[in-house]
Amino acid sequence: MTNQEQKIIDRFGRVHDYLRISLTERCNLRCTYCMPEEGIPLRDKAEFMSTEELISIAKVFVKLGVKKIRLTGGEPLVKKGFENLIRKLAELPVEIALTTNAILIDKYIDVLKEANVKKINVSLDSLKSDVFNAISRRKYFGKIMENIDLLILNEFHIKINVVLIKGTNENEIVDFLEWANTKNTHIQFIEFMPFDGNNWNLEQNVSFKEIMKAISYYYGIENILKIEDAKNDTARNYKIINSTATFGIISSVTNPFCSTCNRIRLTADGKIKNCLFSQTETDLLTSFRKGEEIEELILNSIHSKYKERGGLEEFSNDSVKKNKNRSMTVIGG
């Protein structure tokens, strides 16, 4: 079997060729849905992948058929030596993308272009500075808005990630689409998902149906066009007639996309999560440091993946409390 023919396949026939690598658990924001209010314990750097280890492990995934790598965190741009890391990853025969809060993005425009990074997702959960500051527990709203404009000016393909939480920002759905029309950009509305320390409650979830109802009420259902989703897309995508704005809905809670999932997550401490909601992880870093082969660990981890949502049969307040998972900032976005 040649390298080009190798594939990472689960028992349901899903080919996994998209790797999301968390570069760090640390972040310069403290978003309520991502990080516990008390923060996370700081661990010794020896517990995390070094740049050299990360690159070597990434090469194994590429050998096994990974075609796209997205860098996440925490906030990936606070990773020490980010420039060196992105340059080394750019040598691999894969598409590289980035998810960021954009606070530091102005410092890395040139190196991102050099690494041929074209797709950048920016997290922005409100267009109101006071609401954004309350969600993020920090005051970087102005800087982020400036850097979004900078990314647009430099012709990056950007998507704006908006986590909707009832009673917090669900009244900004239309505002985001009107704003996106002025920016000619794409909005991704994301359902609030349960993770350790984020006090998730089903009553705070803004469902797929509720999002579509709000958009239809304002624009008219006849003015919302379904866009053909890309293969393995996590979002259902749409366009508003007579607007440059497009939007997608990532509805992991009420309308999951598990049947076409092709994603693998590698945490900053070198563990595979084969699903965001998986209660188990596979430690690659320890075996790698012992000089052991990690291909079988990768293949076995993905092969054992559940059909849907890490085996979580339902999203209810009781079932989620029983589900052992890490916080989003530790898993990687």
* Per-residue pLDDT reduced to its tens digit, 305-333: 988 877 666 665 555 555 666 555 566 66
Contact at 8 Å (CB) between 188 and 228? no
Q: What is the pLDDT of residue 43?
A: 86
In 92-206, which residue ranges form alpha helices assigned H by DSSP?
Answer: 109-114, 129-136, 141-153, 173-183
pTM value? 0.92
Contact at 8 Å (CB) between 319 and 309? no
CA distances from 221 to 122, 212, 230 (A): 28, 9, 23
Tell me the average pLDDT across 160-180. Answer: 96
Residue with tokens 């690598």: 21
Q: State the DSSP string of 290-317.
A: TT---HHHHHHHHHT--SSGGG-----H
Q: Per DSSP, what are the bridge partners of residue 97?
A: 70, 119
* Per-residue pLDDT reduced to its tens digit, 253-263: 777 778 889 99
Distance CA 306, CA 312 (A): 9
The fold of 3-331 is TIM Barrel (3.20.20)
Distance CA 225, CA 181 (A): 15
Contact at 8 Å (CB) between 278 and 308? no
232 vs 81, higher pLDDT:
81
Q: Vertex 161, ends 121 and 23: CA angle to 5°? A: 50
Instruction: For the chain, give the mean pLDDT.
Output: 90
Q: What is the pLDDT of residue 30?
A: 86
Whether pLDDT at 154 is above 50 = yes
Region at 74 (left for phi over 0; alpha for psi -120 to 50; beta for the rest): left
Whether pLDDT at 103 is above 70 = yes
Cα torsion angle, 155, 112, 101, 119, sign = positive
Domain ranges of the chain: 3-331
* Per-residue pLDDT reduced to its tens digit, 10-46: 999 999 999 999 999 999 988 888 777 777 777 899 9
